[in-house]
């Protein structure tokens, strides 16, 4: 873990850059590469009856980290995704998990 879900960006961009994303986040967070899962969610934004361009999102589900770590992760992902996607609107959202609510193979942390 962390589990990161991307939307509002092409899947190929995430695939092509997944190694750099994990390498950088591993050094910021200080965890093993094998703990990461990256997921792409195909998204269409709808407004007033039309499909419209939307924001790029990175949603991070993880056990809580300190503010400094969150700031560094958010800064990296925002800058990196904006550069890759040629968009200015990028949002990073953290979803803190607790061990009592996280089960891996039927056992909670």
pLDDT tens for residues 44-63?
999 999 999 889 999 999 99
Q: What is the spatial distance between Cα 44 and Cα 7, in angstroms, rounded to a whole number?
A: 9
48 falls within a domain: yes
83 falls within a domain: yes
* pTM beyond 0.85: yes
104 falls within a domain: no
15 falls within a domain: yes
Q: Which position has the token pair 């093993």?
A: 32
Q: Which of 87, 34, 35 is nearest to 57 (CA)?
A: 87
pLDDT tens for residues 58-105?
999 999 999 999 999 999 999 999 998 877 789 999 999 988 888 888
78 falls within a domain: yes
- Packing angle of the helix pair 67-85, 11-29 (nearest 10 deg): 150
Domain range for 91 is 3-99
Q: What is the spatial distance between Cα 105 and Cα 42, in angstroms, rounded to a whole number?
A: 27
pLDDT at residue number 98? 87
Q: Which of 54, 52, 61 is nearest to 92 (CA)?
A: 61
What is the CATH classification number for the domain harbouring 69?
3.30.429.10
How many distinct structural domains can be found in the chain? 1
């Amino acid at each position: 873990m962390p589990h990161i879900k991307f939307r509002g960006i092409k899947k190929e961009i995430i695939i092509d850059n997944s190694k750099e994303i994990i390498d950088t986040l591993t050094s910021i967070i200080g965890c093993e590469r094998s703990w990461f899962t990256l997921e792409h969610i195909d998204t269409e934004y709808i407004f007033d009856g039309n499909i419209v361009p939307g924001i790029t999102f990175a949603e991070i589900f993880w056990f809580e980290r300190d503010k400094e770590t969150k700031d560094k992760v958010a800064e990296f992902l925002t800058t990196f995704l904006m550069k890759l996607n040629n968009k200015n609107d990028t949002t990073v959202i953290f979803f803190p998990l607790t061990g009592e609510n996280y089960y891996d193979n039927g056992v909670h942390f």
